[in-house]
Amino acid sequence: MNIILCTDLLFSTKITGTAKVLAQPFVVTRTLEKLQQALHDAPAGSTLIVDLNTTAVDPVAAIALAHGGSPGTRIVAFVSHVQADLAAAARQAGADRVLARSAFVNELPELLGAPTTHN
């Protein structure tokens, strides 16, 4: 299961569209309450994807919530490459990976659980 915390319509659509193409299950959350419920309902081994520029909630607090309350959930965050302080705060809060937006887009299929292919 992929849990997505993103209020940016462009990126939210990119993530959910890719998940649909890959037939990967997902739920989009935009509040801490919905995030808590999604984390509670998600099976072990789920992935939380956090847009660190989300405006609906404090994304660093959301990462800390997931890190502390959902062991086994992989937390991946993305942010503009120039926001080093925000990226560091996300890592400190418990994010497993913090990617620049461009790297996030490039790695999105793998992050959503698509099998990787190596030549």
23 vs 41: CA distance, rounded Å: 19
The pLDDT, as a whole number, for residue 63 is 97
Q: What is the mean pLDDT of residues 50-79?
A: 93
Whether pTM > 0.85 for this model: the answer is: yes
Q: Which two tokens stand for residue 11?
A: 């990126």
List the domains of the chain with CATH numbers.
2-111 (3.40.50.2300)
Q: Does residue 116 have a pLDDT over 60?
A: no
Q: Does residue 70 have a pLDDT over 90?
A: no
- For the chain, give the mean pLDDT: 92
- pLDDT digit string, tens, across residues 83-111: 999 999 999 999 999 999 999 999 999 99
Contacts of 88 (CB under 8 A, 6+ apart): none
